[in-house]
Amino acid sequence: MSAVIEERRGRVALLRLNNPPVNGLGWPVREGLDAAVGRLSDDPDVDAIVLTGNGRMFCAGADIREFGTATPEHVRRLTPILDDLEGLDKPVVAAIHGVAAGGGMELALGCHYRVCGPKTKLGLPEVTLGILPGAGGTQRMPRVAGVSKALELIVSGRLISEKEAFEAGIVDELVEGDVEAVIDAAVAAAERLAAAGEPPRRSGQRTDRLHEAKDNPGLFDAFRESMAKRARGMNAPYACVRCVEAATRLDLAEGLAFERQEFEQLVNAVEAQSMRHAFFAEREVAKIPDVPKDTATRPIQTAGIVGCGTMGGGIAMVFANAGIPVMVVENDQAALDAGIAKIAKNYAATVSKGRLTQAAMDQRMGLITGTTDFLSLAATDMVVEAVFEDMAVKKELFAKLDGICKPGAILATNTSTLDVDEIATATKRPQDVIGTHFFSPANVMRLMENVRGAKTADDVIATVMGLSKTLGKVGVLVGVCHGFVGNRMLHQYLREAMFLVEEGALPQDIDRVMYDFGMPMGPFAMCDLAGNDVGWRVRQEQIRAQGGKPSNTRYSGTVADKICDLGRFGQKTGKGWFAYADGRTPQPDPEVEAIIVQTSKELGIARRAVSDDEILERCLYPLVNEGAKILDEGIALRASDIDVVWMHGYGFPRFRGGPMFWADTVGLKTIAATLQRFEKDQGPWMAPSPLLLKLAEEGKGFGDA
């Protein structure tokens, strides 16, 4: 079937884009659209045109898979096609439903009038792919929505509702009902406009909304300043601003030429490649080779959470936010009351910031019930355990849940390190046991590491992976090992950061390098946020388990232990690796520096200058190396799954595509050789893994593994 289907509604031509699943503007669609525009402009039987999308949406933009590939020479780019479309003397109306994003939004902006149905998302998300709206979006959006609104939309890449689009003037008419109702309204509008006989209203010719920039010449600089933190290390957001600025200085043709130039600079750069990788990695992650897409799932209409501490409370919020009633169980009433009060406090903070209405908070709180009676879990479809990280405690709890929960209920553990298979042995239904490792704060962080036990049933995996999506999370299926994917790799990163401090760097040096690389914060600020006492207890436990003897490899916790001995547990105690005079902002602390210098002396290490490059390589190459081992062991299904874990669980910069993709851009040969040098200088733990070595030797990347 043709990529653009043409029908007639009286004297109105109806064009339906037809390129499932999202009507991406691949070359066959552009070819069809171009031909239709040419044909209809001269057709004496056609007074007006309506453009819509077949299936569940209008159009989600350029076909992302086409970037960097060749297009047949006779097929034009979208920009000149839209110029011709906008230039038509016959009214062209967009009938929008579902999604109008990227090139799809640009296509709608090229139309003379926009009708939109309910529950529609509209916007220009190109920046999230490391590019800019390169088919006139940066020129037409400010002319239609105003300069400030266009800047905010284009630089954030945010998709907005049809109501917000209507208020911004992006959409002219809102329609209730299904896609056919939207088309009917668009046809009626097209007939009305044609009958009025006035020249079409062309977005590209409008100037009325550009005055804002003339009235406020500092607008662009102020905007650049406001986005500096979010956009650090990236080019696309700045290119977007330059293009919108150009729209206020240049006429449409010149502005489009400027936009084209800027687009060309971005589209094949590493930033755009990394973000395209991130986009497809996030979709790939849902595909489990041995659990087919059509695997029947178990209904999750109610959930129970055991433990109402920081994690349990956050997980309860996640379920309530998704509209799922949740029963929270604690051992004693005081802990329960404190936990529920903390949840209410978290919601109230969101309400006070204007990000949630009081009514929505009340509705969500209404979905959360607290109890100290475990028998209340008898009817729930799923229970998530979020109790103390101790195998004996967890096994006792799972044996208890086994006796209480109904057959078929999913029994999930939020453990961040422990063996899910061993936990499952405490029950008579290991097939129903799975790990659901949420990241703190659970109601904010998008990652869920879903840990598949040896006996976890396929339908339990399918249910929990689907549930992740329902909960607004990105679920990544991982296998059982200590720390799973994320924390196992984190361990490498933190260890080297600690060693570097012993050797000569200071926490603020390391944090600056990692922040500039694009991490939301450096490792030391991260430890202070999470609480230094957590790792301290784990180290003490490990040493106890080793009979009080340190292991025979180099111990990384010497400075950290001293910091904890002083009660410097991090933000929550006002002091940690840094001091927090205002409770939140890390400030270098001479007391910590003195401890560090003294420790180096005690360890017999002559402190030396550590370069920024060394900090980056020492912190990230071992992390990547551990990722390679994880991949080799089958703990992660794909290298790109590891990237998703790191982007969504630890804020690894999306514009670098995640650690494994980033490693490919550095080159595995370089990484392997550097690790071999570190192995000589530091010790055997730095040895490159067999997979990393093999790929490096073959000149391949993790993308080829």
Q: Which is nearer to ligand TC6, 286 or 344 (CB)?
A: 286
Do the Cβ atoms of 511 and 505 come closer than 8 Å? no
Beta carbon of residue 104, minimum distance to ligand TC6 (angstroms, whole number): 7
Sign of the four-CA dihedral 24, 29, 34, 38:
negative
CB of 297 to ligand TC6, least distance (A): 17
- The CB-nearest residue to ligand TC6 is 102
Q: Which is nearer to ligand TC6, 99 or 624 (CB)?
A: 99
User: Is 275 near ligand TC6 (CB under 6 A)?
Assistant: no
Q: Are 623 and 519 in contact (CB under 8 A)?
A: no
Environment class of 492 (CB within 10 Å of its CB; exposed 0-12, middle 13-18, buried 19+): buried
Q: Which is nearer to ligand TC6, 295 or 369 (CB)?
A: 295
Nearer to ligand TC6, 220 or 279 (CB): 279
Partners of 575 in the beta sheet? 570, 579
Q: Minimal CA–CA distance to 47: which of 9, 96, 6?
A: 9
Give the residue with the Cβ less far from ligand TC6, 101 or 189. 101
Q: Binding marks (x or -) toward ligand TC6, 359..398, rule CB under 6 A?
A: ----------------------------------------
Number of residues that bind ligand TC6 (CB under 6 A): 21
Footprint of ligand TC6 on 50-89 (CB under 6 A): 60-65, 78
Stretch that binds ligand TC6, among 94-102, 112-120, 442-450, 635-643 (CB under 6 A): 94-102
Q: Which of 456, 415, 409 is nearest to 436 (CA)?
A: 415
24 vs 339, beta carbon nearer ligand TC6: 24
Full strand arrangement of the beta sheet holding 99-101: 99-101, 121-123, 160-161
| Per-residue b or e along 519-531, where b marks 16 or more CB atoms closer than 10 Å to that residue's CB | beebbbbbbbbbb
- Are residues 402 and 432 in contact, defined by beta-carbon separation less than 8 angstroms? no
Q: Tell me phi and psi for residue 305, to 5 degrees.
A: -125, 130
Beta-carbon contacts of residue 4 (< 8 Å; ≥ 6 apart): 15, 16, 17, 18, 29, 32, 33, 35, 36
Give strand ranges (E) for 105-164: 113-116, 121-123, 160-161
Q: Which of 337, 146, 155, 179 is nearest to 229 (CA)?
A: 155
Minimum CB separation of residue 99 from ligand TC6 in Å reads: 4
Strand (E) or helix (H) holding 38: helix 27-41
Spot the catalytic one: 31, 86, 106, 614.
106
The least distance separating ligand TC6 from the CB of residue 520, rounded to whole angstroms, comes to: 23
SS (H, E, C) 247-289: HHHCCHHHHHHHHHHHHHHHHCCHHHHHHHHHHHHHHHCCCEC
Minimum separation from the CB atom of position 515 to ligand TC6 (A): 27
Residue with Cβ nearer ligand TC6 (82 or 95): 82
H-helix segments, 504-569:
507-517, 523-530, 532-545, 558-565
3-state secondary structure 553-564: CCCCCHHHHHHH
For the question of residue 126 being annotated catalytic, the response is yes
Minimal distance in Å, beta carbon 128 to ligand TC6?
Answer: 6
Options 31, 126, 191, 271, the catalytic residue: 126
Nearer to ligand TC6, 82 or 563 (CB): 82
Instruction: Judge whether 155 and 240 are in contact, CB under 8 Å.
Output: yes
The answer to whether residue 191 is catalytic is no
Residue 174 C-beta: closest distance to ligand TC6, Å: 20
134 or 622, CB closer to ligand TC6? 134
* Of residues 14-53, those binding ligand TC6 (CB under 6 A): 21-22, 24
Site string for ligand TC6, 99-128 (x = CB under 6 A): x-xxx---------------------xx--
535 binds ligand TC6 (CB under 6 A): no
Closest distance to ligand TC6 from the beta carbon of 677 (Å)? 40
Shortest spacing between CB 485 and ligand TC6, in angstroms: 21
Strands laid side by side in the 382-385 sheet? 368-371, 326-329, 303-306, 382-385, 410-413, 433-438, 447-451, 474-478
For residue 602, what are its two tokens? 């005690």
Per-residue interface string for the shown chain with ligand TC6, residues 303-342, x marking contact by CB under 6 A: ----------------------------------------
Could you say whether residue 134 binds ligand TC6 (CB under 6 A)? yes
Q: Which two tokens stand for residue 619?
A: 């912190």
The site for ligand TC6 (CB under 6 A) is made up of 21-22, 24, 60-65, 78, 99, 101-103, 125-126, 129, 133-135, 283
What residues are labeled active site? Answer: 106, 126
